Structure 1
């Protein structure tokens, strides 16, 4: 997950982009993102479909 975010050059990325990059299940992706957010490794902006994720 962190490698996928790094591959986007530090830009904020939508969950759908990450899911496609990783070929991940949406539920597993959400769980992983939430854990990384809790650890302070990933931040997010926006709400719902407008949510974008980036490295902290």
Structure 2
């Protein structure tokens, strides 16, 4: 398995990374927004559909 940051061979103590440096770089990418988990929620409340007072259908 290779490190997802630099491509070198991984080390057991830092898996899936090769070093603490690469692990920290990956964490920094999450913190600064380089990585993101997609969402179906609107970004602003104005983009959200208006409440109708009806309860949404429940899955079966």
Q: Shared fold (TM-score greater than 0.5)?
A: no
Higher helix share: 1
Query: What TM-score, normalized by structure 2, do the two folds share?
Result: 0.32
Which one has a bigger Cα radius of gyration? 2
Query: What TM-score, normalized by structure 1, do the two folds share?
Result: 0.34
Higher strand share: 1
